[in-house]
Amino acid sequence: DVKSRGGDFSMVCSKREVRGVVMHSLSAELRRAIDEDELVLYLQPLVDVSAAKTYGAEVLVRWQHPRRGLIMPGDFIPRAERSGLMDDLTFWVLRRGIGYAARLRQGGRDLRISINVSARSLLRRDFPDNLQKLMDERGLPGTALTLELTEDTLMADQSRTLEIVERLAATGVQISIDDFGTGYSQLAYLKRLPVSEIKIDRSFVQDMLESDTDLSIVSATISLAHALKLRAVGEGVESSAQLERLRALGCDLIQGFYVGHPMPVGQFERWLRDRDT
Ligand code: C2E
Ligand code: CA
Ligand code: CA
Ligand code: CA
């Protein structure tokens, strides 16, 4: 079995020896999951809050483990980061997400697909070229793709990030700042970055009807987004009351269990059809 997996398995083992056997096997299993397509794309709808129109969907990855069942990203992404598997995971998700977006467009649906990208993957010099190659292969225009980057990702290495984000923006790919308000942003730098969207972290949305502080943060973030000519997205919307408040505050897009849970591709397509009728 070890032999059949070849070099990958032995590489993971030799680098991680000190961390013990459990760690070995999980990293090796994750390697296998990426190579043998045990990962699964889930899609969560993004809707236009005023037009009640579907705008697009965020790709959220899950791991369908043959014995352990469905594993959530919080339980394997940190491990992928630590075991050097993050680039492969990012490209697995990009390849599948872009392929899926291209199929949706061929089916006549003009939806944008948002994909999460970690700092480590973004900052590789070959990232924009590799991404462009994937889009060319599938014939997907850059304008159909949004990359979600956290504030910390964007702030980590500013000059390099600026260069890479500018190259991406030149191809029409849009950049979204994810979990806004939980990290650290310098407005002077944000202003120079060609970003299109700010996603207000769901912790603020979830508490805004009970907490004046959270409501002020949500309201100020929407104003900031609009002052910078960016879309504001409210995530983690779980009730109609939250949706109505975000609409009143001028939020552009919303995402959350109230609109639709993250769902596998087949279910997402049924969700789209049900909304059409
Ligand atoms: P995120 O990018 O902030 O994604 C939103 C998370 O909030 C998702 O959790 C989603 O299921 C959850 N969520 C959405 N609406 C609601 C709601 O109304 N209420 C509540 N309580 N939760 C809601 P999920 O799928 O477990 O993903 C967790 C994190 O894992 C993501 O946070 C993202 O940081 C990371 N992640 C997921 N897929 C990928 C990926 O393909 N690549 C990378 N680099 N990170 C990913
Ligand atoms: Ca996200
Ligand atoms: Ca988020
Ligand atoms: Ca998050």
Distance spanning both ends of the chain, measured CA to CA: 51
- For residue 135, count other CB atoms closer than 10 A to its CB: 20
pLDDT greater than 70 at residue 31: yes
Highest mean pLDDT among 21-35, 180-194, 257-271: 257-271
> What is the average per-residue pLDDT within 136-152?
95
Q: Looking at ligand 1, which residue's alpha carbon is closest to its atom 38?
A: 60
Task: Using the mean position of ligand 3's atoms as its centre, give its distance from the Cα of residue 115 in Å.
Answer: 11
Q: Which of 59, 60, 127 to mutate to test the pocket of ligand 1 (most atoms within 8 A of CB)?
A: 60
Query: What was the pLDDT predicted at 185?
Result: 83
Q: What is the pLDDT of residue 62?
A: 98
Q: What is the pLDDT of residue 10?
A: 43
Helix ranges restricted to H, the chain: 2-5, 7-16, 21-35, 77-82, 86-106, 119-122, 127-138, 151-156, 158-170, 187-192, 202-207, 212-227, 240-248, 265-276
Task: Give the tens place of pLDDT for each residue, 187-245.
Answer: 888 889 999 999 999 999 999 999 999 999 999 999 999 999 999 999 999 999 999 99
Name which of 4-8, 70-74, 143-147, 176-180 the model is least confident about: 4-8
Ligand 1: residue of 44, 114, 116, 178 to mutate (most ligand atoms within 8 A of CB) is 116
**Nearest in space to 163 (alpha carbons), one of 132, 125, 196:** 125
pTM value is: 0.91
Cα 149 to ligand 3 centroid, rounded to whole Å:
9
What average pLDDT score do residues 11-28 get?
58
Residues with Cβ within 6 A of ligand 1?
A: 44, 59-61, 72-74, 77, 93, 116-118, 148, 178-179, 202, 236-238, 255-257, 262
